[in-house]
Amino acid sequence: MTLVIMAAGMGSRFGGLKQIEPVGPNGEFIIDYSIYDAIKAGFTKVVFIIKEENYDIFKETIGKRIEGKIDVEYVFQDIKNIPEGVVLPSDRVKPLGTGQAILSCKGVVNEPFAIINSDDFYGRDAYMKAAKFLSEDTTDYAMIGYLIGNTLTENGSVKRGYAEQDNGYLTNLIESSVYRDEDKIKVEPLDGRVGFYAKDEDLVSMNMFCFKPDMIDYLDKRFKKFFDENQDNLDKCEYLIPDVVFERIENDNLKVRVVDTTSVWKGVTYKEDKEELVNYINNLIEKGEYPNNLY
């Protein structure tokens, strides 16, 4: 099983690692804890999707910490890696999205894999659930669903994909702004639909999906058509994993299982979140879930 970590978005933030702030007691980043948990769950390879210009500094910091503990591969997401005949506006700088990021793994990932963001703390149980699913003999995909109450910050609203499902299978993700409204959780869909209150146990996506290798083949075949459909929006269009997943649900009868986790998500959406994240990790260290010095 492979863990694919989408880290190309680090971009300028990664320069000199100045803004990839350590959250562990010995300078560990969130990404270090992700890899540690993945190894514990039985993942055997990690693939970093990065920008080529960040390769040396990435390898010398994060990469060298885990070499020898898990197989490591690097692939590059480049806005120039597009189908022949496609011409993007010369001033476009916006990345081409998570779909192109995963497509960067073509030829490198040929086994079941999970994807995560580089700057989210997902928690051990999420990796255990992902590994268990990926070990099953099934053609289904899966989305790791978080209890919405486990993904919030007290410092403001966050964007979440509110999951709708039918008998345990994903039917829709409502991209929404989510926040605590006194003792309730308010969900305000970004498409303008009327907002609603959610229960703490309602599930949301944190962009942790489990795929079979055929997902990469589909992304490859679909890429040219994506640009054909966005001829009038080539300066901003993005090839996004959720869009492709739902297209396959509708057209290919793909089934995406919603696998719930008890893990608590942590991240640094707001600068005030960092102290809470550091304290959370220190608490897990005190409980023995992580060693004081991760590597």
Give me the domain span that covers residue 159: 2-286
295 is a domain residue: no
Beta-bridge mates of residue 194: none
Q: pLDDT confidence of 14, banded at 50, 70, 90?
A: very low
Q: Does residue 235 sit within a domain?
A: yes
* pLDDT at res. 15: 45
Domain count, the chain: 1
Judge whether 271 lies within some domain: yes
Reply yes or no on whether the pLDDT at 13 is more than 60: no
For residue 211, the SS3 value is strand
User: Using one digit for the tens of pLDDT, what is the confidence trace for 16-27?
Assistant: 444 467 899 998
Interval 64-97: pLDDT, tens: 889 889 999 999 999 999 999 999 998 888 889 9
Q: Quick one: CA dihedral 59, 64, 65, 71, positive or negative? A: positive
State the DSSP string of 19-58. TS---STTS--HHHHHHHHHHHHT--EEEEEE-GGGHHHH
Residue 59 in any domain: the answer is yes
Position 116: which residue type? I
Q: Is 129 within the bounds of a domain? A: yes
Helices and strands of the chain, counted as H and E runs: 8, 11
In a domain, 223, yes or no: yes
Interval 190-213 mean pLDDT: 96
**Residue 294 belongs to a domain:** no
H helix intervals, the chain:
30-41, 55-58, 64-66, 98-103, 124-134, 214-229, 241-252, 273-286
CA atoms within 13 A on the CB side of 222: 19
Residue type, 266: K
DSSP character for 149? Answer: G
Q: How confident is the model at residue 10 (pLDDT cuts 50, 70, 90)?
A: low
Nearest to 240 by CA among 192, 173, 188: 173
Least confident of 43-47, 121-125, 185-189, 236-240: 236-240
Q: CA 19 to CA 55: how far, in whole Å?
A: 17
In a domain, 266, yes or no: yes
